[in-house]
């Protein structure tokens, strides 16, 4: 499956579903809330809780290729017919490309963006630099988690994600975080290695925050 095979009708459907409900920031300086963490660390759970508690703005656009993929009818059909691994292989790249296209549209409208991705690619750094140049405030939420624990959590999910990639992304994230921190106005860190004590605030270079106080 290639990006060119995503039909205009599918693009319009995803735009209507994921972008149209979003609202521009009333502030003159919109914010991109960029999650950092390996698969299984709890990024999407943090985002869900943060939206429920209004810690993140309700009208934000959520940049998450998995969210796009889950809403593509053909992916869901392939998941049933071919299995999780083959469906993921077919749809990972086109879903990511479509997610980034929608994010670019959101930035043109000055909509707050929640970047629910791992920050392990150079394209992520370029995107944050671009958003900052457009007047966005960049706030990184770094969710730390032991890689072995993250592999265990991912093994329990319906969606396939290779264990080897989790260890690779853990190494990449460690290497990239210094450069990403230089892009950000704030970096807030939380330890989510123990689900019995989720999202414990750690020393950060921004104002101390906690979901419990949001």
Question: Per-residue pLDDT tens for 41-77?
Answer: 999 999 999 999 999 998 999 999 989 999 999 999 9
- Checking if the pLDDT of 179 tops 90, the result is no
Beta strands per DSSP E along 54-194: 61-63, 113-115, 137-144, 186-191
Q: Residue 20 has what pLDDT?
A: 95
Two tokens, residue 112: 């707050």
Q: Grade residue 158 by pLDDT with cuts at 50, 70 and 90.
A: confident
Q: Residue 5 has what pLDDT?
A: 66
| Contact between 213 and 155 (Cβ < 8 Å) | no
- Checking if the pLDDT of 1 tops 70, the result is no
**CB contact set of 213 (below 8 Å; sequence gap of 6+):** none
- Checking if the pLDDT of 206 tops 60, the result is no
**74-111 per-position pLDDT tens digit:** 999 999 999 988 998 899 899 999 999 999 999 999 99
Two tokens, residue 81: 């017919």
| Contact between 44 and 151 (Cβ < 8 Å) | no
Q: Rounded mean pLDDT of 191-214?
A: 74
Please, what are the domains in the chain? 3-206 (3.40.50.300)
Q: Which residue has the higher pLDDT, 4 or 140?
A: 140
Q: Which of 191, 99, 190 is nearest to 139 (CA)?
A: 190
Q: Residue 208 has what pLDDT?
A: 45
- Judged by DSSP in three states, 134 sits in coil
Which residue's entry shows tokens 């919109």? 30
- Checking if the pLDDT of 207 tops 60, the result is no
Strand partners, 189: 142, 202
| Contact between 150 and 41 (Cβ < 8 Å) | yes
2, exposed or middle or buried, with CB in 10 Å at 0-12, 13-18, 19+? exposed
Mean per-residue pLDDT of the chain: 88
Q: Rounded mean pLDDT of 183-200?
A: 94
DSSP run (H or E) holding 36: strand 31-36
Percent of the chain whose pLDDT exceeds 70: 92
In whole angstroms, give the CA distance from residue 113 to residue 106: 7
In whole angstroms, give the CA distance from residue 15 to residue 102: 7
Q: Grade residue 197 by pLDDT with cuts at 50, 70 and 90.
A: very high
Q: Residue 28 has what pLDDT?
A: 67
- Checking if the pLDDT of 132 tops 90, the result is yes
């Amino acid at each position: 499956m290639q990006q060119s095979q995503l039909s205009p009708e599918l693009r319009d459907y995803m735009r209507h579903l994921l972008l149209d409900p979003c609202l521009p920031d009333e502030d003159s300086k919109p914010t991109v809330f960029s999650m950092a963490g390996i698969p299984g660390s709890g990024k999407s759970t943090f985002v869900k809780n943060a939206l429920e508690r209004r810690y993140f703005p309700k009208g934000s656009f959520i940049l998450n290729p998995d969210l796009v993929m889950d809403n593509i009818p053909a992916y869901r059909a392939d998941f049933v017919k071919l299995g999780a691994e083959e469906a993921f292989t077919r749809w990972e790249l086109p879903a990511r490309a479509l997610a980034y296209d929608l994010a670019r549209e959101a930035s043109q409208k000055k909509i707050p963006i929640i970047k629910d991705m791992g920050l392990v690619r150079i394209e992520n750094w370029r995107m944050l630099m671009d958003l900052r140049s457009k007047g966005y405030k960049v706030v990184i939420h770094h969710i730390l988690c032991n890689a072995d624990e993250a592999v265990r959590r991912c093994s329990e999910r319906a969606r396939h994600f290779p264990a080897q990639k989790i260890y690779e992304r853990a190494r990449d994230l460690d290497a990239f975080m210094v450069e990403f921190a230089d892009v950000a106005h704030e970096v807030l860190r939380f330890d989510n290695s123990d689900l019995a004590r989720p999202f414990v605030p750690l020393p950060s270079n921004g104002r101390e925050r906690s979901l419990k106080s949001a």
